[in-house]
Amino acid sequence: MSRALGIYIHVPFCKQKCVYCDFYSLPRREEDMDAYVSALRAQLAETDFSGYEADTVYFGGGTPSYLGPRRLAALLEAVSAACPIAPGAEITFEANPDSASDAGDLAALRRAGFNRISLGMQSADGGELRAIGRVHTAAQVRAAAEAARKAGFDNLSLDLIYGLPGQDLPRWRKNLSSAVELAPEHLSCYGLKAEPGTPLYARRESLPGDEVQAEMYLETVSFLEAQGFRQYEISNFARPGRESRHNLKYWTLEEYLGFGPGAHSCFQGRRFAWTRALDAYLADSPARSEDYALSRRDRQEEYLMLSLRLARGLCLDQPRFGLDFSPFLPFLERCEAAGYAVRRERAWRLTPRGFLVSNQIIGELLSLLPPLC
């Protein structure tokens, strides 16, 4: 019986880099895109997928939609030729709204096998979009969502960012309402962080403070739940049954393989990542920036951290990797008394207020891990 595998394809090309972005991305050039697709197809063909079947495929970036339907379809065909794709697999591509409003192009991608589209909406306010260097408009978001439906996509995800320069709670509420009006099946809502080395970092004083961002987050949870979206991860909300199956692989420690500069993998007991260097890929000499076997302690720490990102939490009846929960219980009970955690149906879950301080909670739990025998 084949084992389930997630496949991630990184597409590093963008029209321009957003002021907050620290992902590996580059200006798009037609000659580079053709060469890159050829390099990825060759690497896929050389990879040994024996015993595996892909049940999720995810094209992320960068901006995959800038490749256009012909290149994207060719890459998905190369994935299918290299690794069997399971019936009913979730196949996603990310798109910027300015490059996803042609229903004909989207219909071609739907025919090629893509069945989920993730639009980088980020905001419904034109001033906010310009402030963070986005190249699309609010009108293009609406047009892209309509084109996706016309093309036959019944699984639409929207990305939003809160805590934008000068943003307050009423403006964030308006963005949430505008997103829900587009009737997506899934929403990802991220708090903006000014990462060192990005243009935004020099303007970080213009961002709302931590207390305002916390209010925005709690408003997000309550508003979306009232609209029928279920929070299943710190930053992710979905209609029932429309959770991102691919991203859940990351959070539940399932296997996935990444292709492209900067892409990460968790495969056959190892974690590795490709160097963030397009030239190396085009020269057919990609190198790994990290590569290590996962120890039992690595697995325990990851399981603890990632489980508490999920709304389902830590299940006491299904410990993994030999993890003993007993050292954590006194601290989790204190978290419960403070309103940061709840114990329900034999599982410990963080509350929305707990998610706000999840790094501190997880850090304390990691410090309580007993030595391995």
pLDDT in tens, 90-123: 999 999 999 999 999 999 999 999 999 999 999 9
Residues comprising the chain, all counted: 373
In a domain? residue 240: yes
Co-location of 166 and 73 in the same domain: yes
Q: Is 106 exposed, middle or buried (0-12, 13-18, 19+ CB in 10 A)?
A: buried
Which of 181, 216, 250 terminates a domain? The answer is 250
Residue 22 is predicted with a pLDDT of 67
In a domain? residue 70: yes
CB 213 within 8 A of CB 171: no
DSSP state of 28: -
In a domain? residue 226: yes
Whole-prediction pTM value?
A: 0.95
Nearby residues of 28 by Cβ (< 8 Å), 6 or more positions away: 13, 14, 15, 63, 66
Residue 297 is predicted with a pLDDT of 95
Residue 191 is predicted with a pLDDT of 94
Domain total in the chain: 2
In a domain? residue 219: yes
Co-location of 38 and 129 in the same domain: yes
Task: Say how far apart CA 94 and CA 76 lie, in whole Å.
Answer: 14
Co-location of 237 and 104 in the same domain: yes
Helix, strand and coil content of the chain, in percent to the nearest 5, comes to 40, 25, 35
Mapped onto helix, strand or coil, the DSSP state of residue 55 is strand
In a domain? residue 269: no
Co-location of 300 and 228 in the same domain: no
Co-location of 363 and 228 in the same domain: no
In a domain? residue 304: yes
In the chain, which residues have pLDDT < 50? none
Co-location of 55 and 146 in the same domain: yes
CB 256 within 8 A of CB 265: yes
Which of 184, 216, 250 terminates a domain? The answer is 250
Q: Which of 252, 279, 274 is nearest to 263 (CA)?
A: 274
Co-location of 213 and 137 in the same domain: yes
Co-location of 159 and 102 in the same domain: yes
Which of 250, 278, 308 terminates a domain? The answer is 250
In a domain? residue 283: no
Co-location of 243 and 360 in the same domain: no
Residue 284 is predicted with a pLDDT of 83
Residue 34 is predicted with a pLDDT of 93
Co-location of 236 and 320 in the same domain: no
Task: Say how far apart CA 107 and CA 103 lie, in whole Å.
Answer: 6
CATH number at residue 130: 3.20.20.70
How many other CB atoms sit within 10 Å of the CB of residue 294?
A: 15
Q: Which domain covers residue 329, as residue numbers?
A: 296-373
Co-location of 60 and 176 in the same domain: yes
In a domain? residue 259: no
Co-location of 242 and 371 in the same domain: no
Residue 372 is predicted with a pLDDT of 84
Task: Say how far apart CA 130 and CA 127 lie, in whole Å.
Answer: 5
